[in-house]
Chain A
Amino acid sequence: MRGRRAWLLSASLADLVFLYAPIAVLMLFSFNASRLSATWQGFTFQWYRLLIEDVALLAAVQNSLLVGVISTIIATVLGVSAAVSLERVPFRGQRVVEGALLLPLVIPEVMMGVALMLFFVLIKLPLSLVTVTIGHAAFNLPIVAVIVRARLHKLDPRLEEAARDLGATPWQAFRRVTLPLLMPAVLGGALMAFTISLDDFIVTFFTAGPGSTTLPLKVYSMVKSGVSPVINALSAILVLVSMALIGLSLALQREREGQK
């Protein structure tokens, strides 16, 4: 028994090392003084300084934030309305609609990218931050809908009914009773959508035009031109930012369960 557990534990720890060592090594070497070699040559902050001075990088960050915020707002509003109308209104064809809503989550991202690019080119909408935002809202909508619906499913329908019995209009009952109860899921879903938008490369790659470089596109072009400690520094920052965002999202979802 003890031997078996020890074996399982060491296999599990090996997996963790496999998952974390590359990220840790990347961050460690962002402080390495040598530009080219992978041997440690002393501690430096100079790669971070180079990052801060990179004007194009700053523009890319701004683009990413803009796309992230706007696409998240669209995806959240539409996702919540999809979740709300799918829950508790059994209607004919509901299964088809539900399947259609989930399809964007399963098809290969490359395919979604080329399909959107083809569409925008054919309707003659120039590829820009606008087309990127539209694409991000499209793949994030189902994600928000799924998260919000899971929470909605656990809510007691009698709460909203009670509000209606007490004379609230459907909108008032939704706005004052259901929505506040849904809020942790809505915020958690929105945060997740925002994170995915900030990280997205493939759909952005196909739908972005000249002058609409987002952060992942910038990272890609840097990576394509070769390994450099500046990318290590940028990676280290990105890792910390996504960890913070995910921590926040998980905290919101935990609160969601806590309220139950």
Chain B
Amino acid sequence: MSPSDPSTTLSDHSPISRRPTWLLLPPLAWLGAFFFVPLLLVLAISFATRGTYGGVEWTFSFANYVTMLDPLYLKIYLRSLALAVATTALCLLLGFPLAYYIARAPARWQGIWLLLVIIPFWTNFLVRTYAWMFILRTEGLMNTLLMGMGLIEHPIEILYSDTAVLIGLVYGYLPFMVLPLYAAVERLDRSVVEAAWDLYAPAWAVFRRVIWPLTKPGVIAGCILVFIPSLGAFITPDLLGGARTMMVGNLIQHEYLVARDWPFGSAISFVLMGLVLLGMLVYLKVERARQGDETVSWAGGDRQ
């Protein structure tokens, strides 16, 4: 029973339940003024039009949302989507064995492994992205090493491409995948997996029919936690991608600061936010289902 449960307090009129609600006002006011009002402004401006000199003219229209359907912009949206999906898939592929290993390691090692996964995540993102510029550029470490070993004759041009952006995104968001996966595997009953092995299930079947169904909520959580920031990425495509590998984040920045078309930039941001919130809703639904009843996923696993 949690302390917040009213029945654990002495009575409904216990002193704590009378903690002043006005305490909530300052934080809400701050977020209201410096988060929600700005957000609403973006929404309002997305229906306005660009003035001749880059200002905003308050004439209501859906023109900005229609412009977004232009193949030029659709391509950027699709590239972002494709890169975000690829990043998520690669993170899952790389992260699952690691999460599984950590969750099955002796308790005292688990903390150390988790810490090792978290540390890079807390390192400055610019620095981590710069590291890949250093490694991948034409006269960078990778090409120097490969040419030194005689494996290639000419440097591989990989920086400023979609591949470089993908590497950077996977590198940046892998910890987001590992942590929820670890939590899911940790909850997975060892004996269920052992039973499958004892019944001579082949490795693939053990994974496909026992481990995967039982850890699915963690997989979904991890995928969404990776997908959302990848979709709205800005630094990674800006530094590792070239002018031809723009993602939505860069397009927004470009419209605001370079093209100075604030209404169009606002419309793009709103569509991006809509996609992100949609992902978040799915995540919350999955979380709630998982917390609701563990046996449901059990049954689901058995029926496969």
Q: Do A and B come from one complex?
A: yes
Collect the chain A residues with CB atoms within 8 Å of residue B234's CB.
109-110, 202
Of chain A, the residue at the smallest CB distance from B29 is A78
Residues of chain B within 8 A (CB-CB) of A134 are 34
Cβ of B272 and Cβ of A153 under 8 Å apart?
no
Shortest distance between the CB of B51 and any CB in chain A (Å)? 13
A206 to B42, CA, bound (A): 14
A114: contacting residue among B17, B95, B100, B265, CB under 8 A: B265
What mask results when residues 251 to 283 of chain B are scored 1 for a CB within 8 Å of chain A, else 0? Answer: 011001000001001100100110011001000
Minimum Cβ distance to chain A for residue B91 (Å): 10
- Tell me which residues across on chain A come within 8 A of B115, comparing CB atoms: 250
Least distance between B122 CB and chain A CB atoms (Å) = 5
| B26 interface contact, C-beta 8 A | yes
Contact among B17, B35, B36, B231 for A88, CB-based, below 8 A: B17
CA of A100 to CA of B36 in the docked complex: distance in angstroms?
Answer: 9
For residue A232, CB closer than 8 A to chain B, the reply is yes
**A19 and B117 contact, Cβ closer than 8 Å, known pairs A25-B131, A106-B276, A108-B249:** yes
Looking at B16, B94, B231, B273, the one whose CB has the most chain A CB atoms below 10 A away is B16
Distance in Å from the Cβ of A222 to the closest Cβ of chain B? 9
CB < 8 Å neighbour of A23 from B123, B143, B174, B256: B123
Q: Given A25-B131, A118-B42, A223-B239, decide whether A155 and B3 contact each other with a Cβ distance below 8 A.
A: yes
* Residue A85, interface by CB 8 Å: yes
User: Which bucket holds chain A's interface residue count?
Assistant: 35 or more
Q: A residues 1-32 with Cβ under 8 Å of B?
A: 1, 4, 7-9, 11-12, 15-16, 18-20, 22-23, 25-26, 29
Which residues 102-152 of A sit at the B interface, judged by CB distance below 8 A?
A: 103-104, 106-112, 114-119, 122, 134-135, 137-138, 141-142, 145
Give complex CA distance A114, B251 in Å: 12
Q: How distant is the Cα of A250 from the Cα of B116 in the complex, in angstroms?
A: 13
Q: A229 — nearest CB in chain B belongs to which residue?
A: B134
Judging by beta carbons under 8 Å apart, are A238 and B235 in contact? Answer: no
Q: Is A219 an interface residue (CB 8 A)?
A: yes
Q: What residues on B are CB-neighbors of A235 within 8 Å?
A: 124, 127, 130-131
Distance (whole angstroms) from the CB of A33 to the closest CB of chain B = 15
Q: Does B157 contact A (CB under 8 A)?
A: no
The reply on B108 being an interface residue by CB < 8 A is no
B301 within 8 A of A: no
Q: Mark B24-43, 1 if CB is under 8 A from A, else 0.
A: 10111011001111110110
Residue of B nearest to A8 (CB): B101
State whether A153 and B4 are in contact (beta carbons under 8 Å apart), knowing that A88-B19, A114-B252, A231-B130 are contacts in the complex. yes
Q: Tell me the minimal C-beta distance from B25 to chain A in angstroms.
A: 9
Interface readout for A77-95 with B: 1 if CB under 8 Å, 0 if not? 1110110111111110000
Of the candidates B27, B97, B235, which one forms a contact with A141 in the assembled complex, judged by CB atoms under 8 Å apart? B27
Complex: A55 Cα to B96 Cα, angstroms? 46
Tell me whether B9 and A157 are in contact (CB under 8 A): yes
Binary per-residue interface labels of chain B (135-166) against chain A in the complex, 1 for a CB within 8 Å, 0 otherwise:
10101110110001000000000000000000
Judge if B199 is at the interface, Cβ distance under 8 Å.
no
A18-B94, A88-B3, A202-B234 known; A223+B126 contact, CB < 8 A: yes
A242 interface residue, CB < 8 Å from B? yes
Q: Give A179 to B41 CA distance when docked, in angstroms.
A: 38
The reply to whether the CB of A101 lies closer than 8 angstroms to some CB of chain B is yes
Decide: A202 near B235, CB < 8 A? Known: A18-B94, A115-B42, A235-B131.
Answer: yes
Taking the nearest CB of chain A, how far is it from the CB of B113, in angstroms?
Answer: 8
Q: Are A141 and B30 in contact (CB under 8 A)?
A: yes
Contact of A118 among B18, B38, B94, B130 (CB under 8 A): B38
A173 CB within 8 Å of chain B:
yes
A242 touches B123 (CB 8 A): yes
A117 neighbours in B (Cβ, 8 Å): 256
Contact between chains at A11 and B98 (CB < 8 Å): yes
Given A219-B124, A238-B124, does the pair A85, B23 have CB atoms closer than 8 Å? yes
Query: Within 8 Å of chain A (Cβ to Cβ): is B210?
Result: no
Best-surrounded residue of B34, B94, B101, B269 (most CB of chain A within 10 A)? B34
Residues from 75 to 127 in B contacting A, C-beta threshold 8 Å: 94-95, 97-98, 100-102, 104, 113, 115-120, 122-127
Cα of A132 to Cα of B115 in the assembled complex, Å: 31
Q: Which of A85, A141, A206 contacts B19 (CB 8 A)?
A: A85
Indicate whether B2 reaches chain A with its CB closer than 8 angstroms: yes
Contact A12 B131 (CB under 8 A): no
Subset of 16 A-B contacts with CB under 8 Å:
A18-B174, A23-B131, A89-B21, A104-B35, A110-B269, A115-B39, A115-B42, A115-B269, A137-B30, A138-B35, A141-B31, A154-B3, A219-B126, A219-B130, A220-B126, A223-B133
The 4 nearest A-B residue pairs measured at CB:
A108-B232, A115-B38, A11-B97, A22-B131
Binding site for B on A (CB under 8 A): 1, 4, 7-9, 11-12, 15-16, 18-20, 22-23, 25-26, 29, 36-39, 74, 77-79, 81-82, 84-91, 97, 100-101, 103-104, 106-112, 114-119, 122, 134-135, 137-138, 141-142, 145, 153-158, 160-161, 164, 170, 173-174, 195, 199, 201-202, 206, 216, 219-220, 223-224, 227, 231-232, 235, 238-239, 242-243, 245-246, 250
